[in-house]
Amino acid sequence: MGSAPAQIPTSFGHELRACLRCRLVKTYDQFRDAGCENCPFFKMEEDHERIVEVTTPNFNGIISVMDPSRSWAARWLRIGKFAPGCYTLAVSEPLPEEMQHLCQEERVQYVLPKRM
Amino acid sequence: MSQYSDDDYSHEDDSEMEDEDEEDEYEPRSSRKGRSGKKRGRSNSDSDGRRGSKKKSSGSAFIDWEVEVDDDVEDDDDDVDVEDGKQQLKFGDFSLCFIVSGEADLPNEDSDHRRQYYQRGFHPHEEDVDELEKRTLERLSTKYAKDDYELDDVNDVDQQALLPSVRDPKLWLVKCAIGREREVAVCLMQKIVDRGSEFKIRSAIALDHLQNYVYIEADMEAHVKEAIKGMRNIYANQKILLVPIKEMTAVLSVESKAIDLSRDSWVRMKLGIYKGDLAQVVDVDNVRKRVTVKLIPRIDLQALANKLEGTENVKKKAFAPPPRFMNIDEARELHIRVEHRRDPMTGDYFENIGGMLFKDGFLYKKVSTKSIAAQNVTPTFDELERFKRPNENGEIDFVDESTLFANRKKGHFMKGDAVIVIKGDLKNLKGWIEKVDEENVLIRSEMKDLPNPIAVNGRELCKYFEPGNFVKVVSGIHEGGTGMIVKVDQHMLIILSDTTKEHICVFADHVAKSAEVTKGVTKIGDYELHDLVILSDFSFGVILKLDSEAIQILKGVPDSSEVSIVKASEIKYKIWKKINVQDRYKNVVAVKDVVRVIEGPSKGKQGPVVQIYKGVLFIHDRHNLEHTGFICTRCSSCVLAGGNFKTPALVPPSPRRFQRADMGYNPGAGGRHQGGRGRRGDDHLVGTYVKIRLGPFKGYSGRLVEVKDKLVRVELEAKIVTVERKAISDMTDNVVATPQYNMGSQTPMHPSRTPLHPCMTPMRHSGATPIHDGMRTPMRGRAWNPYMPMSPPRDNWEDGNPGSWGTSPYEAATPGSDWGSSTPGRSSYRDAGTPINNANAPSPMTPSSTSYLPTTPGGQAMTPGTDLDVMSLDIGGDAETRFIPGILVNVHKAGEDRNPGVIRDVLPDGSCVVALGHRGEGETIRATQNKVSLVCPKKNERVKILGGKYCGSTAKVIGEDGQDGIVKLDESLDIKILKLTILAKLVHE
């Protein structure tokens, strides 16, 4: 286990939201309190309105990645470099453009979700 | 690599000079280095290669050539070394630093990443080395994962590289409690986090669409078992299944159903009284997963008032009130409290009634995203029309067309389709589809300045049609119907339906060009169009229209023209029986007889009887625009038309009349003599000479000796045989008719139409036979009888399919013919617009020549001695039509077929100078006008208009509809519908 794990969701229902960039799944409250471990530049813990912008309640499937670097599934989903934690397999919405620009400024990659 | 080696070779040749070169170039090169050294790695230019070769020769043989870019970098470094030791050190530090960090933190890192790193790190922008260095160090200090992720350039090829191999961990399928899949995955995560590296599982996957199971990724089954031990919702004793390597990717490739709930999109309600109703999304709240939709309220105001007053208990209503726009004033009248409030979020004002929000009559409702269906919602035209309601300012909310296109099927656009851009910069650009990609469509436009082809998003395109196009509706409620476009309003088309002759509104998106003519759906289950059916309430009616949802029935209530729309299940049964009734004058009326309504609201209408039941007649009058021409009337209000039979008659009845009526109104019915009527008036056939057209006796001719229902007995020259009645044709008639009507040449004009009337051709020939010699009697009666309206066969003409009957007009429209204007009854027939075919018979008394004369009452009956050979009538409806030089005509010469020719001149006496041949290349003759007939223009041919308002103009035929031609005027480009009889084909010159 490389780095410290991200927060583990405290519930399994509708409160769950997924980060639109790294697909980390946590509850709204967790995002509000601690932000996203992989995307600290979103500063969700500081700007709560951003949580709505950069996370979504619409996601599909959950994958708990215990050992990202050695997990094939994590690599396949391209979350192998992120902190261990619960992720979602796919989000359907793109990050708002403004936030995409932020990613660019921060020089982090953002991949648009594939349209099915 | 290869480039390097090439360069190596090329430079080895002059290697001796290199040292010199190096000396010479030193200064300029170093200066260049400082400015644009970073560029080199990217461009791989010649100079790079050269430097590479130099470096190689200067002894850097230790460089691992496997990684070419690394070499490039080192190469740079070396050069820098020469130039500036300090810089070299820094780069060296950097690369060392990177490698160290890479190895320490990223054991799985491959050299590819490193290479990319270098490339990016060194060459992203033109900037100072110091700046670059600063930034690089900065970046290195930040979390590695971020940087690495940045390098992950996701594409399909890369993804392929990630396909699972045998060395990768495996996926194991583990059974868990239903509905606890996510929980299990999360709990496993928690467990591993809490207990550290005790467990060796790598991940746990809970799929939304797979109940009862989770996947656990681990190298061995034992690891999985270990990890799930003691887990509450996992059935540890169940077998753990290994997912085959090939299926591993499928597990993770979930289709993220893109819930495309955007503003203005159309949805349907799934629950409650609004179930199935169309709604438009006004606002989407993704956080709470709720949407605000706008719909037409279904509110029973009275019930609402009662409820609010508390006078009435809230009952569960048995049915939903019909959708109706909220009328606030009405609500106030019922003392319903209406609050006018401003919505704090949107700033719009809403009327609030008992917690419901209304605006402009619409109900604004907040619902869960789950209670609406957004997939495959295609609003019908009517629904959208209803949504178009002016708001307070009197503006009609613009319904964005593109919202309608969200649910297009694949393969919507085809190569060659005409399209128009409806959105964006290229709006209103018309073009043709070249190629259809996933999202984009390549179109070719007429605009010269634009690059061709242009890629346009399919959503910004709409099919484009022009008035006059024949189209088929391919989706929506009118699916299956065909018709001609009469109006194009943006993406809405108004189509004149072939079936109902009514206008239907469809979206351009729902139609495709088609030459086909259908009657729409003509049969659903046991019920067919125009069937007589008994409904569940024991009323009866005739089916006017069938579609998948409802059946339209003209009720059998005389003179009421009540139409009800029922479901197929409401029909009890259909009546097959054909009954005869008596008309006002006790004439027997049977199905297919032509009757005229003499009293009641439908007075004056006439047409063939389609159904008879309980003394009620269903008549089809094609001039009646309502109910697809059907009229329901009492039999006692009708008289049998087509003669004076038992009416206050001036002329004794003729038995032939029935025959006429029968054939005249039944053009497509094949066996015309079916059903009750066949026997009458057949006797006249006996003794005529006929030719057998079908069957084993085809080609034989002989005298008809006996008529038996559908069969006739013919005495051949050799012997008497029995053939089907259909299979004969009158010899004399046939001789004339065949060349005259020239069906063969007409058919290709409307290839799709002809098959619909397959029996047209035989009808003409055989139909003529039974009547010809008997025609005189009714004819004369008719001619004398001013009460007689249009003669039935006229309908026959018009009913006829335009393709196969198209020949008719050109025999017509010959004003100034010998006898035409002297006909007393002629004027009354003008409006009838009956094209008369000129039976070019050798003798006026020949039966066949009169075959079609019922339509020319005046002329024919009055002038028994007239030379029928030259008969032609002005019946154009547009009054006088005159020949004009330059048009193509057919010239009739006695004893010869028609000869095409071109009118060169029209002499004052009406006769024409005609140059024979299609282009007038033949000899020039002079022909009286009655020997000349117009050539019926075909689609896409240029014509000259010979009469009416546009007399003298040229036009192009873009379609035909019965007797009418649809033409586009050359001058104004207007589309006009004109009688074919005044359209003269122009000669191609």
pLDDT tens digits along A30-44: 998 888 888 888 888
Q: Report the range of poorest mean pLDDT among B259-268, B352-361, B883-892.
A: B259-268
Q: Label residue B499 by pLDDT band (50, 70, 90).
A: low
- The confidence score (pLDDT) of residue B155 equals 58
- The C-alpha atoms of residue B741 and residue B771 are separated, in whole angstroms, by 18
% pLDDT > 90, chain B: 1
From the CA of A34, how many Å to the nearest CA of chain B?
17
Specify whether the CB–CB gap between B963 and B797 falls below 8 A: yes
Mean pLDDT of chain B: 65
- The C-alpha atoms of residue B920 and residue B910 are separated, in whole angstroms, by 19
Q: Report the range of poorest mean pLDDT among B250-259, B361-370, B533-542.
A: B250-259
Confirm whether B794 is domain-assigned: no
Confirm whether A20 is domain-assigned: yes
- The C-alpha atoms of residue B557 and residue B540 are separated, in whole angstroms, by 8
Say whether pLDDT at B809 is over 50.
Answer: no
From the CA of B1, how many Å to the nearest CA of chain A?
30
Confirm whether A7 is domain-assigned: no
> A94 CB near a chain B CB, below 8 Å?
no
**What phi-psi label fits residue B476: left (phi over 0), alpha (psi between -120 and 50 degrees) or beta?**
left
Task: Please give the residue that has the higher pLDDT: either B20 or B930.
Answer: B930
Q: Report the range of poorest mean pLDDT among B315-324, B446-455, B579-588.
A: B315-324
Cα distance between the two ends of chain B: 69
**What phi-psi label fits residue B628: left (phi over 0), alpha (psi between -120 and 50 degrees) or beta?**
left
Q: And the tokens for B45?
A: 């230019």
Largest CA distance in chain A: 35
Specify whether the CB–CB gap between B474 and B483 falls below 8 A: no
Chains A and B form CB pairs within 8 A to the count of 159
**B415 class by beta-carbon count within 10 Å (0-12 exposed, 13-18 middle, 19+ buried):** exposed
- The confidence score (pLDDT) of residue B60 equals 44
- The confidence score (pLDDT) of residue B396 equals 45
- The C-alpha atoms of residue B654 and residue B41 are separated, in whole angstroms, by 105
Specify whether the CB–CB gap between B955 and B947 falls below 8 A: no
- The confidence score (pLDDT) of residue A25 equals 92
Confirm whether B878 is domain-assigned: no
Q: Which three-class secondary structure state does DSSP give residue B492?
A: strand
> B214 CB near a chain A CB, below 8 Å?
no
B477 closest CA partner among B505, B499, B501: B505
Average pLDDT in the B928-937 region?
Answer: 76
The phi, psi pair for B764, rounded to 5°, reads -60, -45
From the CA of B609, how many Å to the nearest CA of chain A?
57
| CA closest to B208 among chain A residues | A61
Domain with B565, as residue range(s), is 526-640
A 10 A CB-CB count for B342 gives: 10
Confirm whether A6 is domain-assigned: no
Residue at a domain's end among B362, B392, B407: B407
- The confidence score (pLDDT) of residue A26 equals 92
Contact B202 A65 (CB under 8 A): yes
- The confidence score (pLDDT) of residue B172 equals 92
Residues B624 and B533 occupy one common structural domain = yes
Residues B221 and B291 occupy one common structural domain = no
Angle between helical axes of B18-43 and B129-141 (0-180°, round to 10)? 50
Domains identified in chain A, total number: 1
Rounded to 5°, angle at Cα B359 from B354 and B360: 130
Residues B261-284: pLDDT tens digits?
A: 677 778 888 888 888 888 888 887
Contact A89 B254 (CB under 8 A): yes
- The C-alpha atoms of residue B262 and residue B459 are separated, in whole angstroms, by 15
How many residues would you count in chain A? 116
Q: Pick A60's closest partner by Cβ from B154, B199, B208.
A: B208
Residues B271 and B212 occupy one common structural domain = no
Specify whether the CB–CB gap between A6 and A84 falls below 8 A: yes
The phi, psi pair for B56, rounded to 5°, reads -60, -45
Helix (H) or strand (E) holding B562: none
Average pLDDT in the B345-370 region?
Answer: 82
Between the ranges A95-109, B728-742, B775-789, B963-977, where is the mean pLDDT highest?
A95-109
Specify whether the CB–CB gap between B987 and B887 falls below 8 A: yes
Confirm whether B356 is domain-assigned: yes
Q: What's B600's DSSP letter?
A: S
Say whether pLDDT at B14 is over 50.
Answer: no
| CA closest to B120 among chain A residues | A107
Residues B247 and B272 occupy one common structural domain = no
Residue at a domain's end among B387, B407, B427: B407
Q: Label residue B549 by pLDDT band (50, 70, 90).
A: low
Residues B894 and B976 occupy one common structural domain = yes
- The confidence score (pLDDT) of residue A64 equals 92
Residues B502-529: pLDDT tens digits?
A: 778 887 777 777 766 655 566 777 787 7
B656 closest CA partner among B668, B671, B644, B647: B644
Average pLDDT in the B637-660 region?
Answer: 52
Contact B202 A71 (CB under 8 A): yes
Q: And the tokens for B170?
A: 């495996």
Residues B212-247: pLDDT tens digits?
A: 899 999 998 888 888 888 888 888 788 888 999 888
Cα distance between the two ends of chain A: 34
The phi, psi pair for B292, rounded to 5°, reads -100, 125
Task: Please give the residue that has the higher pLDDT: either B753 or B547.
Answer: B547
Residues B413-432: pLDDT tens digits?
A: 777 778 888 777 777 788 88
Which residues in chain A touch residue B258, judged by CB atoms under 8 angstroms apart? 92-93, 115-116
Q: For B827-868, give the DSSP string.
A: HHHTTTT--------SSTT-GGGGTTGGG-IIIIIH-TTS-G
Q: And the tokens for B368?
A: 């869960």
Residues sharing a CB contact under 8 Å with residue B830, sequence separation 6 or more, in sequence order: B875, B877, B879
Task: Please give the residue that has the higher pLDDT: either B347 or A28.
Answer: A28
Average pLDDT in the B919-923 region?
Answer: 74
Which residues in chain A touch residue B254, judged by CB atoms under 8 angstroms apart? 60-61, 89-90
Say whether pLDDT at B817 is over 50.
Answer: no
Confirm whether B937 is domain-assigned: yes
Residues A42-86: pLDDT tens digits?
A: 888 888 888 888 888 888 889 999 988 889 998 888 888 899 999
> B718 CB near a chain A CB, below 8 Å?
no
- The confidence score (pLDDT) of residue B303 equals 79
Residues B26-69: pLDDT tens digits?
A: 444 434 444 444 444 344 444 444 444 444 444 444 444 444 44
Residues B549 and B623 occupy one common structural domain = yes
> B366 CB near a chain A CB, below 8 Å?
no
Domain with A61, as residue range(s), is 16-105
ipTM over 0.85: yes
- The confidence score (pLDDT) of residue B927 equals 76
Confirm whether B778 is domain-assigned: no
- The C-alpha atoms of residue B136 and residue B124 are separated, in whole angstroms, by 12
Average pLDDT in the B873-894 region?
Answer: 60
Contact B169 A111 (CB under 8 A): no
Q: Pick A1's closest partner by Cβ from B108, B197, B204.
A: B197
**B216 class by beta-carbon count within 10 Å (0-12 exposed, 13-18 middle, 19+ buried):** buried
Q: Pick B185's closest partner by Cβ from A64, A72, A92.
A: A64
Q: Domain containing B173 — which CATH number?
A: 3.30.70.940
Residues B270 and B338 occupy one common structural domain = yes
Residues B542 and B624 occupy one common structural domain = yes
Specify whether the CB–CB gap between B475 and B490 falls below 8 A: no
- The C-alpha atoms of residue B235 and residue B244 are separated, in whole angstroms, by 21
> A114 CB near a chain B CB, below 8 Å?
yes
Confirm whether B156 is domain-assigned: no
Say whether pLDDT at B258 is over 60.
Answer: no
- The confidence score (pLDDT) of residue B288 equals 67
- The C-alpha atoms of residue B771 and residue B852 are separated, in whole angstroms, by 9
B467 closest CA partner among B487, B492, B497, B444: B487
Residues B386 and B320 occupy one common structural domain = yes
Between the ranges B148-157, B180-189, B880-889, where is the mean pLDDT highest?
B180-189
Q: What's A57's DSSP letter?
A: S
The phi, psi pair for B44, rounded to 5°, reads 50, 40
Residues B307 and B281 occupy one common structural domain = yes
- The C-alpha atoms of residue B779 and residue B851 are separated, in whole angstroms, by 11
A 10 A CB-CB count for B734 gives: 20
Element counts in chain A: helices (H) and strands (E): 4, 5
Say whether pLDDT at A102 is over 80.
Answer: yes
Residues B511 and B538 occupy one common structural domain = no
Residues B362-376: pLDDT tens digits?
A: 888 888 877 888 776
Sheet with B912-916: strands ordered across: B924-927, B912-916, B898-906, B888-892, B932-934
- The C-alpha atoms of residue B825 and residue B817 are separated, in whole angstroms, by 15
**Does residue B900 have a cis bond before it (omega within 30 degrees)?**
no
DSSP E strand stretches across B518-576: 523-524, 527-528, 532-535, 540-546, 551-555, 563-566, 571-575
- The C-alpha atoms of residue B410 and residue B419 are separated, in whole angstroms, by 16
Residues B604 and B540 occupy one common structural domain = yes
Sheet with B571-575: strands ordered across: B563-566, B551-555, B540-546, B532-535, B571-575
Q: Report the range of poorest mean pLDDT among A11-25, B182-196, B201-215, B346-360.
A: B346-360
Say whether pLDDT at B486 is over 50.
Answer: yes
Confirm whether A115 is domain-assigned: no
Interface of B with A in 474-533 (CB under 8 A): none
A60, β-bridge pairs = A90
Task: Please give the residue that has the higher pLDDT: either B858 or B924.
Answer: B924
Cα A111–chain centre separation? 12
What is the radius of gyration, based on Cα positions, of chain A? 13
> B289 CB near a chain A CB, below 8 Å?
yes
Q: Label residue B653 by pLDDT band (50, 70, 90).
A: very low
Q: Domain containing A73 — which CATH number?
A: 3.30.40.210
Confirm whether B757 is domain-assigned: no
> A76 CB near a chain B CB, below 8 Å?
yes
Total-model pTM: 0.35
Confirm whether A94 is domain-assigned: yes
Specify whether the CB–CB gap between B728 and B766 falls below 8 A: yes
Confirm whether B952 is domain-assigned: yes
B103, β-bridge pairs = none
How many residues would you count in chain B? 989
Q: What's A7's DSSP letter?
A: P
Domains identified in chain B, total number: 6
Largest CA distance in chain B: 129
Q: Domain containing B939 — which CATH number?
A: 2.30.30.30
- The C-alpha atoms of residue A72 and residue B159 are separated, in whole angstroms, by 12
Say whether pLDDT at B918 is over 80.
Answer: no
Average pLDDT in the B10-28 region?
Answer: 41
Average pLDDT in the B384-407 region?
Answer: 56
Confirm whether A86 is domain-assigned: yes
Pairing state between β B932-934 and B942-945: unpaired
Q: Label residue B406 by pLDDT band (50, 70, 90).
A: low
